[in-house]
Structure 1
Amino acid sequence: MKRRDLLKALAAAPLFSHAGNLLAAPATNAKLLFVFLRGGYDANNLLVPIGSDFYYAARPNIAIPKPGADNGALALNADWALHPALRDSIYPLFNSGQAAFVPFAGTTDLTRSHFETQDTIELGQSLDGRRDFRSGFMNRLAQSLNADKTSRAISFTDQLPLIFQGGAQVPNMALRSLGKSGIDERQSKIIAAMYQNTSLQKPVSEGFVVRDDVMKELSGEMQAANRNAISTKGFALEAQRIAKLMKDKYNIGFVDVGGWDTHVGQGAGTGYLAGRFDELGRGLAAFSQEMGSEWRNTLVVVVSEFGRTFRENGNRGTDHGHGSVFWVLGGGIRGKQVAGEQVAISQPNLFQNRDMPVLNEYRSVLGGLLQRTFSLSTAQLDHVFAGARPTELGVV
């Protein structure tokens, strides 16, 4: 094996975090899938403030028409409606009490930088102190639950994200393009032998077990896809694969979805952003269906680093903003509500006369959801989000 090929092979091999009983199910029934929409999605066209004349004046070309119009919004209550692209996916979940939304949510970080704000949320640390880039909040969650032997965490990404950096080693494996492994059995043995009797022997060995386990678990589904048995694509297919693994083997998962930076031509009821919502919604609906009976024990949280400017720009798009909308889904939640602190959608209530304000700070919102979902003690919650006071939304 050439050195160049060896390095590529090592980069592709996941490292596993825990020794022993790799195929055992988690000891707790509660499950969490955290979905990160990278790029800052336009939450104002996701959760449409249909009662606000200011919304329609501020967006003459990209506002979602009111309910009842062609490609009109889907009414949730007297004040809010949902983007029409989610009619067949998230809207039925909302009406059945399995989806809720938290507007005016986000971080108080004001940089409006994709990378800076993504880091802020993934770290989950107070902005008042020095950042520790070796400690993401989902890793700290895994550590807290591991004390009770209840956590099996995995990142469904090409590389381990910042949110999972930390003391608990977590495997990562992207599922969007599964196929034949780049490392055959002979090469796996060579690599494993190279690390024998070293500190990396166990994680390398267990990493190959994870890879083989995932490939074995999904082999039947991949064969069906090759015969065009699965009609969905992109995130919808990936979400089904994630569910196949999470319902039996893992209880904490992370996945990120890109393509949300809509400076130009984002569209309204149809168009670019509508297409992204459609794919995301179908994926989350497919995830809920694939989870089967485990859906009642599952919490899905969808966030983005920030929202977009409330007014459309000269290119019929939106620019980097501030407050956003979090999604909360699950078979056992108290959904069918728009939760959290809110204010009227009007120009005087804009943040810096341009953005939705942040009234529901993300650490408090997530802390409240996680505390309820995993029955975290005060000490465990403080380990995940030090100094944050959990918000009781009445959703979980």
Structure 2
Amino acid sequence: MSDTMFTRRGFLTRSAILGCSAAASPLLTPVSLASAPWDNRLVVIILRGAMDGLDVVQPYGDPGLAGLRRTLALRPDAGALDLDGYFALHPALAPLYPLWQANDLGFVHAVSTPYRDKRSHFDGQDLLEAGTVTLGPASGRDGWLNRLLQTQPGMSAETAYAIGHDNMLLLSGDVPVANWSPDVALKLSPQGARLAELVMHDDPLFRDAFAEAQMLSGSMQAMAAEEMAATGDMQGMAGMSAPAQGQAKGKPKGIKLIAEFTAKRLRADTRIASFSIGGWDTHNGQERTLPRALDQLAQAILTLKAELGPHWKKTAVLAMTEFGRTVRENGTKGTDHGTGGAMLLAGGAVRGGRVYGQWPGLAEADLYQRRDLMPTGDVRAYAGWAMRGLFGLDRAVVEQAVFPGLDMGSDPKLLR
């Protein structure tokens, strides 16, 4: 492990990919953990880049889907896995289907944060992790998981794993928590490095992150090499060092390494963990790119289940994204930034085998701004009900301290 890590807005990529947002990078995967007196466990996975919930949990029973998704819509007879006669699961998540059948996997559809209209990855993710209505000095710079810890006496951090410069915003705040990150590497050609420096010159967040990234080395470059090999990008592979290419064959690596480490801590004193998975910004070729991100998510959840053993029964996993994507696929067989999206629930503590939420419909008059899935639920409310069930929080604590100003609404009964 390295004694340094990317800042939250740092990015890792090869020189040919300068147009990809750091916020949507599939290689930005810090882990934050917190110990607590409870016996139940909570894992929050941030899906950076805006997951297309309409593709992951496909409403094939809605007559409007086929006309809006001419190449992306799949029915059960075309490879999707039927969930309940109305919704179907993307085939890339087939490894998770046994969890659905065992009632350890569920989804919430048509949810969002209060974020609207600007559709910026950075702002959307900040609002998701802050758990507030707006961003700015008035809302502070702490995250909702840290505010949860602030409501409980006697919290302690796993200080032996306090590695890296900063926490995810989700767990940042007055209560100290541990940080851990796999090694990170960046290797650019001199021309690519110079171009990146010029692009970032006037943005100190990017500039400082890039300078830091240039000094690091390790497994994250191996992840990049692995993906290039998987996609047949021989030109990209040729630009990487031989050690990096060789590391791509090592084990454990990537998301499996992160999930194994998370489970190890959850088997000990840690009760709350959070990490991120990128690669969800599917503007083009979504049929090709989305399965890679879904595979990472499936690997993370199945590794957690395997490594947690009997503790899986006491665990809830919430996978959340900053916003959804447009209901219409675009001209490059992808989707653009939208509003309403989907949330994934997993774990032995979850009442799975169902799709929660109020479905708004896909008729044009039912869409948000006639382009996006209309949000009918607040993703914070579902997270709030999960925490209330896992940790016995009073409703007033969730609505006033963890998510200030939130109305949780009626109990969706997410947990067993």
Q: TM (normalized to structure 2)?
A: 0.71
Q: Which residue of 2 aligns with 1:45?
A: 55
Given residue 241 of structure 1, which amino acid in structure 2 is its aligned partner?
A: F
Aligned to 1:66: 75
What is aligned with 1:141?
148
**Alignment-derived partner of residue 261 in structure 2:** 241
Partner of 2:227: none
Instruction: Give secondary structure in 2 for the equivalent of 1:363.
Output: helix
| Compared CA separation, residues 157 and 374, structure 1 to 2 (3 A) | farther
Q: Deviations over 1:243-288 (max 9, x none)?
A: 1111212101110111111111111xxx211121122112211111
Query: Whose Rg is larger?
Result: 1
Aligned pair partner of 2:112 in 106, 127, 136: 106
Alignment of 1:303-322 (within 5 A): 303-322=320-339
The residue type paired with residue 181 of structure 2 is A
Q: Where in structure 2 are the equivalents of 1:377-388 lying within 5 Å?
A: 377-381=394-398, 382-388=400-406
CA contact (8 A) 2:323 2:338 kept: yes
Cα deviation code 1:217-249 (max 9, x no counterpart): xxxxxxxxx9x895x742133212211111212
Matched residues in 2 for 1:129 and 1:345: separation?
Answer: 34
Q: Show the counterpart of 1:123.
A: 130
Deviation, structure 1 residue 121: 1.2
Q: In the alignment, which of 248, 255, 259 is matched to residue 279 of structure 2?
A: 259
Q: CA deviation at 1:151?
A: 7.8
Whole-angstrom CA distance in 2 between matches of 1:157 and 1:329: 28
The match for 2:205 is none
Would the aligned equivalents of 1:125 and 1:386 in 2 still touch at CA under 8 Å?
Answer: yes
Aligned-partner Cα distance in 2 for 1:156–1:41 = 29
Q: 1 CA distance for matches of 2:83 and 2:406? A: 30
2:101 matches 1:92? no
Q: 1:33-81: CA deviations, max 9, x gaps?
A: 1100111111111000111232111111222x21132xx1100011101
8 Å Cα contact 1:28-1:150 kept in structure 2: no
Q: What's the CA shift for 1:149?
A: 4.5
The corresponding residue for 2:393 is 376
Tell me the matched-pair count: 324
RMSD over aligned CA atoms reads 3.0
One-letter amino acid of the structure 2 residue matched with residue 51 of structure 1: G
Does residue 1:287 correspond to 2:307, yes or no? no
Q: Distance in 2 between matches of 1:156 and 1:253?
A: 15
Contact 2:259 2:300 in 1 (8 A): yes
Supply the distance in 2 between the matched residues of 1:150 and 1:94 (Cα, whole angstroms): 35
Q: 1:1-396 maps to which residues of 2 (within 5 A)? A: 11=4, 26-63=36-73, 65-69=74-78, 72-88=79-95, 90-110=96-116, 111-127=118-134, 131-145=138-152, 147=153, 149=155, 159-175=166-182, 233-267=253-287, 271-381=288-398, 382-391=400-409, 392-396=411-415
Contact 1:37 1:304 in 2 (8 A): yes
CA displacement at 1:306 relative to structure 2? 0.4
For the 8 Å contact 1:340–1:360, the answer to whether it is kept is yes
Alpha-carbon distance, 1:349 to partner? 1.3
Task: Name the SS of the counterpart of 1:53 in structure 2.
Answer: coil
Pairwise CA distance, 1:155? 8.8
Describe the SS at the equivalent of 2:368. coil
* Contact 1:26/1:152, CA 8 A, preserved across alignment: no
How far off is 1:148 after superposition? Answer: 5.3
| Change beyond 3 A, Cα 1:53–1:342 | closer
AA paired with 2:145? Answer: M
Aligned-pair CA distance for 1:164: 1.8
Q: Which runs of 5+ in 1 are unaligned?
A: 1-8, 14-23, 179-225
Shift of 1:122: 0.9
Give, in whole Å, the separation in 1 of the partners of 2:390 and 2:104: 15
Is residue 152–residue 251 contact of structure 1 (8 Å, CA) maintained in 2?
A: no
> What's the CA shift string for 1:192-235, capped at 9, x where partnerless?
xxxxxxxxxxxxxxxxxxxxxxxxxxxxxxxxxx9x895x7421
Percent identity at matched positions?
32
CA distance in 2, matches of 1:156, 1:77: 44
